[in-house]
Structure 1
Amino acid sequence: MADHYLSGTDWIAMTQATLTISSKNYSSWSLRGWLLCRMAGLDFTEMLVEMNDEARQELLLLSPSVLVPRLTHEDVTVWDTLAIADYLSEIAPKAGLWPTERVARALCRSVSGEMHSGFHNLRSALPMNLKARHASFKIFSGARPDVERVKTIWTDCLDASGGPWLFGKAPTVADAMYAPVCTRFRTYAVELEPRLAAYVETVLAWPLMREWTEGAVAEPDEIIELEVEF
């Protein structure tokens, strides 16, 4: 599988890597894990779990938490998104998944962890749907603080790094974690100041995001969603 960040001896050409994902249109966690694997230069096979009751039972056998993505690499299995990020950083240190500078790395870990464990109202009110596009959308009042918090995080990171990515000239774990939010803001016409709108466009124009989006558009429209948080 091609990669946009590593070359030559930096490639991780491992044939025994599989990433289990669910819907490309709806599953934000699948998108995060997929981006991280591609950013790390991991050569992997996608395993798509169709979202029906039978597949859900199979997924229970694959992943104790019933969550995707799930990375299997040689004799290692990792199914939490941040755990996948840390594992990939260990096996591909030259990929730059985390910033090299200590202060920036600490901030990157913090904002990535905040997305990993928070923003529940935003996820419920603005579910990921790459095929949808609203000209206007009334955001549930409970989700507005989450939207404002995302804007603050992006502003702080861009102020510190200078952009165009959250931590400078190249994408990091933080950009992978917030990429689904960029799609949500586009889908639901969330108003952004020009600098933040430019960041969203940077993410959406990312070749990896374009590739993922093409896969999402090709999915059947009718699917059965798993009872897990995407």
Structure 2
Amino acid sequence: MLTLYIANKNYSSWSLRPWLLLTELGIPFEEKLVPFGDSDFKHFSPTAKVPCLLDNGEPVWDSLAILEYLAESHAGVWPENKQARAYARCAAAEMHSGFGTIRSVCTMNCGIRVKLHAVTDALEREWARMDELWQQGLTRFGGPFLGGKNFSAVDAFFAPVAFRAQSYGPKLSTASEAYVATLLALPGMQSWYQAALAEPWRDEAHEQEVRDAGEIVSDLRLDQ
């Protein structure tokens, strides 16, 4: 039995990736949520970070490694088409290692809507590259997902960005806005979002990141 350790659904973008893939592909797993600041993640994760997947007690850590591990034994993790699969792996790797300004300025906080204090050139460039990357996949492989008609690992990698787009409202093309809407409408994304809104925990470090970046114009979380 697979066990996936994650942190707060409101904040943990890295946790969302494998959780959503497992959920959307119908792969059975047990969820273990450990809130930030609640305990030392080291007791289940070699890096003391989330996510961490346990397969019969054997740890697999890092979101990209987890998705590749799942691909070894489950169909549909990556697109079947060779060209789409190559694009998907490249796009997921670029997301995994890049977009540092989006990550640091537009942090994931599902339950809020934010007006940024400023939109820097660096932030604009990264959102423009995100838009370009999405349009490339959607155009080449026909959508509605990046690798074609079926949800796959590359979409799981960009799922946290969909929540960021919802919270911060960056300028995107019509095609990319439709892609964000497609991701947000997934049953797994809706389930994650509702759970995030209902969480009672507030992690001050994550909350301060938002205050540093902009003005919170709406807070939809249930326990404010």
> Does the pair score TM above 0.5?
yes
Contact 2:35 2:201 in 1 (8 A): no
Aligned to 1:7: none
Equivalent position SS for 1:71 = strand
Residues 161 and 137 of structure 1: is their aligned pair in 2 closer, same or farther, counting only changes over 3 Å? Answer: farther
Contact 2:92 2:157 in 1 (8 A): yes
Superposed, which structure 2 residues align to 1:1-230 within 5 Å? Answer: 16-52=1-37, 55=39, 57=40, 59-93=41-75, 96-134=76-114, 138-225=118-205
Deviation at 1:137, TM superposition (A): 6.2
Structure 2: 5+ residue runs without aligned partners? 207-224
Equivalent position SS for 1:19 = strand
Equivalent position SS for 1:97 = coil
Deviation at 1:225, TM superposition (A): 4.6
Equivalent position SS for 2:54 = strand
Deviation at 1:135, TM superposition (A): 5.9
Code of the aligned partner of 1:143: L
Code of the aligned partner of 2:11: Y
Structure 1: 5+ residue runs without aligned partners? 1-15
Residues 38 and 65 of structure 1: is their aligned pair in 2 closer, same or farther, counting only changes over 3 Å? Answer: same
Q: What do residues 18-58 of structure 1 show as CA deviations (whole Å, max 9, x unaligned)?
A: 11000100110011120122234222111111211x61x2x
Q: What do residues 91-132 of structure 1 show as CA deviations (whole Å, max 9, x unaligned)?
A: 112xx1111111111111000011111111110010001101
Task: Give me the CA root mean square deviation.
Answer: 1.7
1:222 & 1:154 partners in 2: Cα distance?
A: 32
TM-score, normalization by structure 1: 0.84
Contact 1:136 1:189 in 2 (8 A): no
1:127 & 1:216 partners in 2: Cα distance?
A: 14
Equivalent position SS for 1:77 = strand
Residues matched between the structures, number = 206
Code of the aligned partner of 1:85: L
What percentage of residue pairs aligned between the two structures are identical? 40
2:54 & 2:153 partners in 1: Cα distance?
A: 19
Deviation at 1:152, TM superposition (A): 0.7
Equivalent position SS for 1:91 = coil
Deviation at 1:61, TM superposition (A): 2.8
Contact 1:125 1:139 in 2 (8 A): no
TM-score, normalization by structure 2: 0.86
2:61 & 2:15 partners in 1: Cα distance?
A: 10
